[in-house]
Amino acid sequence: RRSAKCVLQALERAEATVLEHADELGRIDAVAGDGDHGIGMQRGVVAAVAKAREILALDGGAGTLLRCAADAWADKAGGTSGALWGVALTALGTTLGDRLDPDADLVAEGIRKASEGIMHFGKAQPGDKTMVDVLVPFSLALCEAAQRGLELGEAWSVAARVAEEAAAATAELRPRIGRARPLAEKSLGTPDAGAVSLSLIISAIEPVLL
Ligand code: ADP
Ligand code: MG
Ligand code: MG
């Protein structure tokens, strides 16, 4: 079950980067939000990895693993971002299914579905200063790279650079949704916490796909 193992490895890389940056993510969220983004992401991703290990031991495929990990993440993380990560990973897992070796086109399609799911569920648009400001350009770059015929790892790398730039660029935005909205002016000059964590995770996963 190569792709299921790959998904577990990706979640483990996500866990490592979230643990490494948890304090920093909390500080960023505290500038205009409530400061719990680091701890929430940590609780979510740790639960997701534990569940993914369980499912892999039962010989579950990639899609099953992602959908079960998504439920564990949303359940344990709490907060807005936890629910949205649950939505995103469910959409990705549903698109990938339990196929053995998803290609760049299918993964790009899964990320597009994840992006649509988050926007549908959270109602944020690009420019509102949320994780959507990373997810939308990342998804577009990944789809475009896949269409150009790049392999999954190369396509992901190209799109990961776009995600990093997009996360940094959220510093110039004023929040128009979520807990940071009342303190919008204070957040100018600081990037959005959920955008930064998403970009960190996208980059951390790169070596697994290359
Ligand atoms: P909470 O805001 O409930 O404390 P977190 O601190 O874990 O949850 O997550 C905050 C992040 O969630 C924000 O930085 C933003 O990226 C993201 N976010 C908040 N609301 C929305 C929304 N409606 N749509 C998309 N992303 C959102
Ligand atoms: Mg918060
Ligand atoms: Mg909170």
The per-residue pLDDT for range 126-169, each reduced to its tens digit, is 999 999 999 999 999 999 999 999 999 999 999 999 999 999 99
Nearest to 75 by CA among 62, 86, 64, 88: 86
| pLDDT (0 to 100) of residue 100 | 87
Q: Which residue ranges have their beta carbon within 6 Å of ligand 1?
A: 29, 33-34, 36-37, 40, 79-81, 84, 118, 122-124, 130-132, 177-179, 192-195
- pTM of the predicted structure, to 2 decimals: 0.98
CA of 134 to the centre of ligand 2 (A): 17
Q: In this structure, are residues 56 and 1 in contact, taking their beta carbons and an 8 Å threshold?
A: yes
Per-residue model confidence (pLDDT) at position 177: 87
Looking at residue 167, what is its pLDDT?
Answer: 99
Q: Which of 29, 118, 125, 130 to mutate to test the pocket of ligand 1 (most atoms within 8 A of CB)?
A: 130
Q: Which residues of the chain have pLDDT under 70?
A: 1
State which of 29, 43, 80 you would mutate to test the pocket of ligand 1, scoring each by most atoms of that ligand within 8 A of its C-beta.
80
d(CA 165, CA 137): 10
The predicted pLDDT at position 85 comes to 98
Q: Say how many Å lie between the CA of residue 34 and the centre of ligand 3.
A: 6
**What is the DSSP-derived secondary structure letter of residue 170?**
G
What are the b/e assignments for 83-101, b being 16+ CB within 10 Å?
bbbbbbbbbbbbbbbeeee
pLDDT at 1: 55
Q: Which residue's CA lies nearest to atom 23 of ligand 1?
A: 122
- Alpha-carbon torsion (198, 129, 122, 76), positive or negative: positive
Which atom, in ligand 1's list, is nearest to the CA of 29? 6
Buried b / exposed e along 112-126 (16+ C-beta atoms within 10 A): bbbbbbbbeebebee
With 0-12 CB in 10 A as exposed, 13-18 as middle and 19+ as buried, what is 59? exposed
Q: How many angstroms separate the alpha carbon of residue 3 from the centre of ligand 2?
A: 33
